[in-house]
């Protein structure tokens, strides 16, 4: 074995931003619900990409690769923020939600993101933002479907409790 690493050139990174920047920023705003934090998270994500993002060039699904990078940056922000349940209003670029996503459920889940563990955040995002099935989530996160189902049920309970308090 030997080491192999090559950062992206600024030109390559600019091409990525031009093609995917809207989608990445939209995702950051969806998760963080705050334009300034989202801009910052996206900048941080591209710092990672510039430093060690050459793998994206060979990826068959580069946007998915980039989504995972920005997700981690957003999770970091949420962990540091430890924001209380009351978070700013959604600042998503446009209000276009995935057809399989229940927007109301999604919005409640996003408000609770800052109170979740990283695994819970991952599952919540994949379910309520990406519209993935439990099987797909299990494969993505690396846990069993039973675990995913348990986490989702627990999240739904918390969401209902929150909605009950908020109404």
Partner 1 sequence: MEERETDPSRHPPAHRLDAIAAGDLDSGASAHVESCEACTRYVGQLRAQAARFRAENDARAFVARAETRRGMQPARSPVARVAWAVAPVVTAAMLLVLLVRARSQDSAPAPAPTTEHAGPASGPREARFKGGLVVVVVREREGIQERFSGPLQVRAGDRLRVEVSTYHDGALAAGLLTDEGEWVQLLAPSALEAGTHYSELAARFDDSPTRATLVVGDPAAVDRARQRREFGGVVAWRVTSQAGP
CB of 19 to partner 1, least distance (A): 6
Q: Is 167 helix (H, G, I), strand (E, B) or coil?
A: coil
CB of 35 to partner 1, least distance (A): 13
Our CB check for partner 1 shows the closer of 66 and 112 to be: 66
CB of 36 to partner 1, least distance (A): 14
Our CB check for partner 1 shows the closer of 18 and 86 to be: 18
Q: How far apart are CA 167 and CA 163, in angstroms?
A: 6
Our CB check for partner 1 shows the closer of 65 and 162 to be: 65
Our CB check for partner 1 shows the closer of 84 and 96 to be: 96
Dihedral sign, Cα of residue 89, residue 92, residue 140, residue 14:
negative
CB of 94 to partner 1, least distance (A): 5
The CB density around residue 69, as the number of other CB atoms within 10 Å, is 19
Buried b (16+ CB within 10 A) or exposed e, 120-136: bbbbbbbbbbbebebee
């Amino acid at each position: 074995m030997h080491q192999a690493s090559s950062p992206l050139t600024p030109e390559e990174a600019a091409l990525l931003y031009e093609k995917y920047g809207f989608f990445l920023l939209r995702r950051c705003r969806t998760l963080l619900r705050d334009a300034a934090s989202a801009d910052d998270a996206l900048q941080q994500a591209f710092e990672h990409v510039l430093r060690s993002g050459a793998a994206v060039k060979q990826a068959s699904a580069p946007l998915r690769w980039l989504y995972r990078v920005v997700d981690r940056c957003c999770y970091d922000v949420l962990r540091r923020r430890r924001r209380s349940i009351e978070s700013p209003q959604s600042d998503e670029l446009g209000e276009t939600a995935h057809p399989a996503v229940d927007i109301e459920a999604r919005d409640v889940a996003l408000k609770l993101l800052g109170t979740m563990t990283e695994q819970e955040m991952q599952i919540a995002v994949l379910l309520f933002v990406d519209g993935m099935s439990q099987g797909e989530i299990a494969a993505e996160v690396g846990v069993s479907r039973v675990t995913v189902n348990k986490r989702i049920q627990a999240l739904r309970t918390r969401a209902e409790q929150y909605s009950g308090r908020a109404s």
